[in-house]
Chain A
């Protein structure tokens, strides 16, 4: 019996563990090793160069600028998305006609949730095509067309959303926000609805206004969820590969234009790996991305730590 059990356990674990080690863990580990070599593309031989790649990396203006862009995304994407999602979640759950009992959804809140959430199931590739069309730099683009129509933009000089250094990051950010708000709205709504009604009733009896009960009760109880949302949006902001590589001007390959003004770490890494064939150097970038991701998670969890309220 005992022996059979071990055989069973080993049998069940063998394939999953093997796949996972071969395709996930082993490459992860190899990256660290390769990042210390001058390995180029297809060549079979390479030399150990110590920390040279890292030294080059921190003098590589393109990569440093890319880190800066990721940091901008890290700041703005979570803030804007979470605030909008909270705002809409509040509107959906507490904006309805006042009936005692605190949280009362507006009419049609189910419909809104269905619509808002939909972008989440679309692939980023679809979003890239969609927003490339929206951001077209002539009157045929939805955004320019609309702004020309209401007279905010001159028809002869439409805005080049994706070719203007000052615009391009914001244009990309808007896509992520458009994509994410519905998801976090549903997440926050679910959390809001799990707050026991008694708490709202008690607050109501004590004479709390709707806003008071939102800011003093709902929000503090939602804090855990907001924190999770923050970490997830942070991961999105560290990535950005699909949108940047397919929406912006190619700097050789994988977007990043105009003149590297929208490059992020992932696009620079992929360009060095697949376009320039600098495998070792790309590995060093991967390691830096990992370190920054870890720093990000620790900082977020630390900075947003609050006393946990059980209910």
Chain B
């Protein structure tokens, strides 16, 4: 990464730039045409993103007959009842299940991922490199490669259709990326602070939790967002691992799984408004999180790719 250069570029004063000679005539004209042109395309794509989403939210307020009749048209009456109906028809449970799983899986992912990354980044011991590649290599393989034995492994541990089973599996599958990213991050932290802590007599464990981890906060936030979104949106692992095992085993679907389930049910029950209301409910937390942490989300997700 060329960080030092990047930091200095934006700092260049605007005045210095303006001194560069410009052939005013042709450039101006080209600029205006391009400007209209580009705004046209940009606005079009923005509409293509926003309109389907708004349309879906709007459809939640319509009646089933109205949805089937025509794509356009306003709801006859605006009632929020459909949302409580959706909540009662399972969305509430699915939502809760997802939250229960993530409340444990994300912090555990961050904790174990940082612990492994920290030790691998800052301590020299036999097999260090090997272990690091061992962790990172996991990111290269498609998850489908593991699915069949994974199912039977979780079954043998008697953890199919349990929260703890899914939590442990999420943590394990988030390890490669978390270790990879946090490893890079811990390497960049200054050694002086670490040495000072050791000189002051802090134990290794204490140094990690009270000195190094707080310093790694920006990295933890990026990876945390990445893992939260990834685990929240995960579909394949719960599809395999969270099926009721017997008639008496309760459903513990997560939100993504539940929505697809609801889609199949409501298709037959012809109650599409409930499905659309369910999707709206599922979108709201994402929208709120996204709009409030917009910069971090974009940075977190894209930096995951760039490294």
Contacts and interface: CB of A to CB of B under 8 A. Distances in A.
A95 B38 contact: yes
Interface string A257-277: 000000001100110011000
Interface stretch (B77-85, B184-192, B281-289): B281-289
B197 interface: no
B283 A140 contact: no
A19 B232 contact: no
B242 to A, nearest CB: 12
Interface string A83-110: 0000110011001111111000010100
Given A12-B118, A117-B298, A121-B229, A26 B37 contact: no
Contacts of B46: 112, 115-116
A152 interface: no
B306 A24 contact: no
A186 B298 contact: yes
Contact of B256 (A20, A123, A225): A123
Given A20-B138, A238-B142, A273-B147, A122 B286 contact: yes
A42 to B, nearest CB: 9
B72 A149 contact: yes
Interface residues of A, number: 113
B293 to A, nearest CB: 10
Contacts of A146: 71
Given A24-B173, A269-B144, A92 B42 contact: yes
Contacts of B41: 87-88, 91
B153 A22 contact: yes
Contacts of B142: 235, 238-239, 286, 289-290, 293
Interface residues of B, number: 108
Interface stretch (A1-9, A55-63, A159-167, A299-307): A1-9
B235 A9 contact: no
8 contacts: A27-B153, A92-B42, A98-B31, A100-B18, A118-B287, A123-B255, A285-B144, A286-B147
Interface of B: 2, 5-6, 9, 12, 17-22, 27-28, 30-32, 34-35, 37-39, 41-42, 45-46, 48-50, 52-53, 55-56, 59, 67-72, 112-113, 115-116, 118-119, 123, 125, 131, 134-135, 138, 140-142, 144-154, 168-169, 171-173, 175-176, 179, 203-205, 208, 229, 232-233, 235-236, 239-240, 255-257, 259-260, 263, 272, 275-276, 279, 282-283, 286-287, 289-291, 294, 297-298, 301-302, 305-306
The 10 closest A-B pairs by CB, nearest first: A145-B71, A95-B38, A98-B31, A123-B233, A23-B172, A30-B149, A125-B256, A27-B149, A91-B38, A27-B146
Interface of A: 4-6, 8-9, 11-13, 15-17, 19-20, 22-28, 30-31, 34, 87-88, 91-92, 95-101, 106, 108, 112-126, 128-134, 136, 138-142, 144-146, 149, 178, 181-183, 186-187, 190, 194, 196-197, 201, 204-205, 209-210, 225, 228-229, 232, 235, 238-239, 241-242, 245-246, 265-266, 269-270, 273-274, 279, 282-283, 285-287, 289-290, 293-294, 297, 310-311
